[in-house]
A and B are shown apart, each in its own frame.
Chain A
Amino acid sequence: AQSVTQPDIHITVSEGASLELRCNYSYGATPYLFWYVQSPGQGLQLLLKYFSGDTLVQGIKGFEAEFKRSQSSFNLRKPSVHWSDAAEYFCAVGESGYSTLTFGKGTMLLVSP
């Protein structure tokens, strides 16, 4: 069965600093990988997704993620964090032929002034 691990429950980053959120997955074949963001009191919004091809994926709001098969990782990055990026971030994995996703437990990003 597939699984997703987000090792960091909380991360605090200063505004303007760079950000990296970690995600490790467990899945036998090439997975479909997603990053979602949840602002307080809101539903989840897709930031980016990886299916195949170029391992560096660009998303909305200046985010990018890199798929590393050898490390089973799909880390999310942003060069310069804005206060509005404070939210909870979820990594998810999907499986070819199945519509369901498995979500990680999330990482709460706090942005300090």
Chain B
Amino acid sequence: NAGVTQTPKFRILKIGQSMTLQCAQDMNHNYMYWYRQDPGMGLKLIYYSVGAGITDKGEVPNGYNVSRSTTEDFPLRLELAAPSQTSVYFCASSYSRTGGDEQYFGPGTRLTVT
């Protein structure tokens, strides 16, 4: 199993550009998550999904969009990149919604917006 994979690893965007961060998991997990990590701030939940076709906002959803057309994939879309979106983005997945299930993390995408 590859686990959770993310592409790209690094990306530099200009202000106003758009991009999609890709995330895929091969563990047949229903639940998937997008976090952003800023220095000294821990991880903030952007969006999450409880299954194909179902998504919900997390703590910091503004400026982002997601879709979940399959169980395996959960892409994160930035429509009009802003410097405030410079961050490291992590995708994660878990098996169920008991609240006690381990979340498995991808290696992250480091995004810089200039």
Contact = CB atoms under 8 A, between A and B. Distances in A.
Interface string B36-52: 00001111010010100
Given A51-B100, A106-B42, A99 B94 contact: yes
Contact of B42 (A42, A49, A98, A104): A104
10 contacts: A43-B107, A51-B100, A96-B100, A97-B98, A98-B97, A98-B99, A99-B94, A99-B96, A100-B33, A103-B42
Give chain A's interface residue range (CB within 8 Å of chain B): 20 to 34
A85 interface: no
Contacts of B94: 99
B80 to A, nearest CB: 26
Contact of A45 (B35, B41, B105): B105
B74 interface: no
Interface in B49-101: 50, 58, 90, 92, 94, 96-101
Interface string A72-113: 000000000000000000100011111111011110000000
